[in-house]
Amino acid sequence: MTYLDNTLKERLTEFYTRSRKLTILTGAGLSTDSGIPTFRDKDGFWTVGSVNYMPEEMGTLKMFTQKPLEVWRWFLYRFNICLKALPNTGHFAIKELEDIFSDRFRLITQNVDGLHFKAHSSRERTFLIHGTLERSRCGSECSSELYPYPQIPLEKDQQLTAAQIELLKCPKCGNYLRPHVLWFDERYNEKYFKLDSSMRVAKETGLLLIVGTSGATTLPQRIVESVLSRQGIIIDINPNENYFSELALKKKNGYWLKGKSSEVLPEILQFFKSL
């Protein structure tokens, strides 16, 4: 199966000869081929007692304030999945595109699973706009210091021991730590989530690859709109139609490659390697 037609190949060749940036915006779909369920999958729920909660309910400051240990159990379970997960061909293709484009390359990711760094994408060119499961911080914000993520790989129905609960406490004030990620009821900022610097990248982008995201969050939407407003090309890579594929199909600079990132990205990589 080939995804790139001649028209798109001509557009990509023209982009390659210019000087604007190649930016790749990734979401949970990129990691599905590494065995990490996306957020809006049918089995993405978490059970507390006899109630099933969706990620949009569990991953909130509100739920953390009410049930900090339940939120931690869910995050430590996801941490355990991510710990065992390996990068797939999509992650490695992104790393090789960074090698080709060097400082014309930027990576903006919503993923907190750490797989881009396991595939050796550089930290200086990667913007973690939803945080990371590598770090935690004080849940009461007694300071803005970042601590290592508690190394407690939990299974889905496993309870926390008293000793493990102690590892979830802020070393400064003794209140609970929290995962250093953006929750559904929280707002982007530059300090933790590179809001301004990722918008600056969008302004310099000539080609944006949107990979495996449903477009449910606002900063990715603003990034895509900014690229389009400056006549950049957007390519949505997703086997299912979504907010960005529908947007792309309405724009002369928009393309939707309907396929899995682990298949489409290697083809894009091979094309640029052939130039």
Give, as ranges, the residues between 136 and 195 that touch ligand APR (CB under 6 A): none
For residue 271, the minimal CB distance to ligand APR (Å) is 18
**Count of residues near ligand APR by CB under 6 A:** 23
Other beta carbons within 10 Å of 203: 14
Tell me the Ramachandran region of residue 68: left when phi exceeds 0, alpha when psi lies from -120 to 50, beta otherwise: alpha
Tokens of 273: 């390697």
Q: Catalytic: 130?
A: yes
212 binds ligand APR (CB under 6 A): yes
Q: Is 40 in the site for ligand APR (CB under 6 A)?
A: yes
The rounded distance, in Å, linking the Cα atoms of 234 and 4 is 14
CA atoms within 13 A on the CB side of 69: 10
The window from 13-21, 95-103, 171-179, 238-246 that contacts ligand APR (CB under 6 A) reads 238-246
User: Of 108 and 202, which has the nearer Cβ to ligand APR?
Assistant: 108
Please give the Cα distance from 260 to 30 (Å, whole number): 8
Please identify, among the stretches 5-13, 34-42, 62-70, 74-82, the one whose residues bind ligand APR according to the rule CB under 6 A: 34-42
**Which CB atom, from 177 or from 237, has the smaller least distance to ligand APR?**
237
Regarding 32 and contact with ligand APR (CB under 6 A), the answer is yes
- Distance CA(30)–CA(146), nearest Å, equals 27
Q: Is 238 in the site for ligand APR (CB under 6 A)?
A: yes
| CB nearer to ligand APR: pick between 121 and 170 | 121
How many other C-beta atoms are found inside a 10 Å radius of the C-beta of residue 37? 15
The contact mask relative to ligand APR for 78-117 (x = CB under 6 A, - = no) is --------------------------------x-------
Residue 128 host element (H or E): strand 126-128
Contact 227/15 with Cβ under 8 angstroms? no
34 binds ligand APR (CB under 6 A): no
Q: How far is the CB of 258 from ligand APR (least distance, A)?
A: 10
CA 20, chain centre distance (Å)? 23
d(CA 275, CA 273): 6
Q: Which is nearer to ligand APR, 38 or 158 (CB)?
A: 38
Just list the catalytic residues: 130
